[in-house]
Chains A and B, each alone.
Chain A
Amino acid sequence: MHNRVIKWIDQRFPLSSFVKHDLTEYPTPRNLSYWWNFGFLAGFVLILQVATGIFLAMHYKADVTLSFDSIQHIMRDVNYGWLLRFMHATGASAFFLVIYIHMARTLYYGSYRAPRELMWWTGQGLLLMLMATAFMGYLLPWGQMSFWGATVITNLFRATPFIGDQVVVWLRGDYGVGDATLTRFFSLHYLLPFLIIGGVMVHLVALHTVKSSNPSGIDLAAKDNIPFHPYFTSKDFYGLGIFLIVYCIFVFFLPNSLMEPANNIPANPMQTPSHIVPEWYFLPFYAILRSVPNLVGGVVAMGLSVMVFSFMPYLDRSRIPGGARYRPWYRVTFYLFVVDMMVLGYVGYIPPTDQSIVMGKIATFFYFGLFVLLPFISKKEEQWLIRRGLPPEVEALVASEAKEKTRLPHQRRSGDIK
């Protein structure tokens, strides 16, 4: 019976071959570390956000006179409404944390290099959509920080040449952030996650064409690849367990630690909060925005600071395998970048003082400086490493993998460099 059903479906839809190609026989490098768990986790958080969001939308009202009250209705009267809302609000932070780690892994191990540029660029597109979704979702509770955050950020579009003022009005649907803004943000906040799901599909199709990178940075021959299921399904589920424990500690015990107190005050267009801060995941970019004294310059710098990652496949000119692992100079650059992000995050969080403004400017300069210098650093480092020779175990690995590949060319994974 079972087989007959499968056969019936297979004649009409490639179910068995799909499961085979993408799960039971999908070749995955056996040496992947736990840093390779975060893509799966991002997918999980996406589903979690959509699921909780759909139920929240059943009780939420997008109307400036009702929004704040409807959130309190969810928090107090709806059965387990508090759980839904805290899961969704904490989920937003979790999503960014997971995505940032996912990106950091890509940067550290050089996974953005050929043939995986499209993975990196679709990922970049997904990041932008995620940021837009998070930003619009933050307006929905209609608290003070929601309102003023949206006001400040939509105002940045004044930097558009010639039609700046019109663009701002067009985005808001009004001269100020108001009911028209709230309803359109709600509509788009509901739409974008589904576009993200579409983008994730593209991201995964690209992944299953080029296959996963791995910590050695060398495309491994068939003998070092194992099927995704059951090896990586079991590993991903174990990682998911660890993630859920951390997530639930925040949901059940520290949910308010991720919320701005000012957002528990209903939006008041007549009263500016003393200090407008975005959520933690936007802080480094916000610091870059504020570090440039001129509006247009600040907006361009902030946009560039997010988009600059796209250029990584071209900025990194080294052909040494293994990302930062076998590349001491690149490793130092990577850690300096992480520290710089933290400094920018701190500068974005505190109310500006003379020192913090100077600190922000230096950190912004440093941020772009690292990207600008990377082509030279990577090229010089490559020459230095070739002169000095790679560690013997890397040389041995490269040699053995190369030999394996010439011996068994039909066992190459699709997408491996010829």
Chain B
Amino acid sequence: MKNLIFILMLYSISPVWATEAKLENIQVDTSLPTVERGVDGLMNNCHGCHTLKYIKYRDLAKFGIDKKKIDEWRGDQLLDAPLASLMSDEAAMQSFGLVPPDLSLMTKAREGGASYVYSYLLGYYNTPEGVTRNHIFPETKMPDPLGISSATEPAQRDEISKTAHDIVSFLSWAADPHEQERHRLGYYVIGYLVILTLLLYFVKNQIWSRLK
């Protein structure tokens, strides 16, 4: 117990910033076609190891993603099943020494948000010794999922960047599925409040004008 406060103080004096490299700022696009491509990209590149426990196949269907594709992805799993990874926790521990983190909230759980995840996915490079490293998160245990480190052709790199952008867009939607609804409602609520406040202002002036 006594050591704990010491350790905490030590941590508070010598923080390790996770992100030293510059993030590439992106705008995510949570429209249906992008998100649909994003799920596709995730299923092919991430789903092997990562789970999205708060997203069910039914949520994808509700959002409007092609039913046939969903059935393909889920196989014999229920529509109410979450997007669970194909790898067991034990197997992951054996291969990587940790359980790959859940991705449901990933774009909200890192400083930099979606831009962080995007830059991280594209941050892999090969050292002259032939070791693959990551600029954004040097201690990562994840092998380069999209193959950006070995892609040399500009067209190929563009293609990978696009896939990363789609995946990150899907993850942004998954982290905050009510965002579009929230914004839509927000315009109405604030519009209503602006009119109401104007009226209240006139009421106030009217009442105060009775004073000499």
Interface residues of A (CB under 8 A from B): 30, 72, 75-76, 82-83, 86, 148, 151-152, 155, 158, 165, 168, 175, 226, 230-231, 234-235, 237-238, 240-242, 244-245, 248-249, 251-253, 255-256, 259, 261-262, 264-265, 272, 274-276, 290, 295, 351-352, 357
- In the complex, B21 has a CB within 8 A of chain A: no
Number of interface residues of B (CB under 8 A): 43
Q: Which of A231, A261, A274 contacts B11 (CB 8 A)?
A: A274
Cβ 8 A contact of A276, one of B11, B101, B189, B201: B11
Which residues in A have their C-beta under 8 angstroms from that of B12? 275-276, 290, 351-352
B13 cross-chain contacts in A, Cβ below 8 A = 352, 357
How far apart sit A179 and B43, CA to CA, in the bound complex (Å)? 36
What DSSP secondary structure best describes chain B's contact surface?
helix
Give chain A residues whose Cβ lies under 8 Å from the Cβ of B183. Answer: 252-253
Alpha-carbon gap, A262 to B113, bound state (A): 11
Cα-based distance from A212 to B78 in the complex (angstroms): 64
A residues in contact with B104, CB < 8 Å: 72
Contact between A351 and B17 (Cβ–Cβ < 8 Å)?
A: yes
Q: Is B97 at the interface (CB under 8 A from chain A)? A: no
A248 pairs with B7, CB closer than 8 A? no
CB distance from A268 to the nearest CB of B (A): 11
Per the bound structure, the CA–CA distance linking A83 and B182 in Å amounts to 8
What residues of B have a CB within 8 angstroms of the CB of A274 in the complex? 11, 15-18
**5 pairs, A vs B, C-beta closer than 8 Å:** A75-B178, A155-B4, A237-B203, A249-B190, A264-B175
- For A242, the chain B residues whose CB sits under 8 A away are 197
Q: Pick from A83, A158, A240, A244: contact of B5, CB below 8 A.
A: A158
Shortest distance from the beta carbon of B109 to any chain A beta carbon, whole Å: 4
**A255 nearest in chain B by CB position:** B182
Chain A residues positioned under 8 Å from B176 (CB to CB): 256
Contact at A237–B200, with CB atoms within 8 Å? Answer: yes
* Given A72-B54, A234-B200, A272 contacting B193 (CB threshold 8 A): no
Given A234-B207, A252-B186, A264-B105, answer yes or no on A241-B193 (Cβ-Cβ < 8 Å). Answer: yes
Contact B207 A152 (CB under 8 A): no
Which chain B residues numbered 17 to 73 have a C-beta less than 8 Å away from chain A? Answer: 17-18, 54, 59
CA distance A72 to B176 in the complex (A): 10
Name the contact of A241 in the complex, choosing from B59, B197, B208 (C-beta under 8 A): B197
Q: Which residues of B contact A75 (CB under 8 A)?
A: 178
Distance between Cα atoms of A72 and B55 in the complex (Å): 10
Q: How far is the CA of A170 from the CA of B175 in the complex (A)?
A: 37
Known: A175-B1, A234-B200, A242-B197. A264 touches B207 (CB 8 A): no
C-alpha spacing A226/B109, complex, angstroms: 53
Instruction: Tell me whether A245 and B211 are in contact in the complex, defined as CB-CB below 8 angstroms, given that A72-B54, A351-B15, A352-B13 are known contacts.
Output: no
Decide: A76 and B177 in contact? CB cutoff 8 A: yes
CA distance A76 to B174 in the complex (A): 10
Chain A residue, CB-CB nearest to B55: A76
Q: How many Å from the CB of A128 to the closest CB on chain B? A: 23
Contact B197 A245 (CB under 8 A): yes
The answer on a CB contact under 8 Å between B186 and A253 is yes
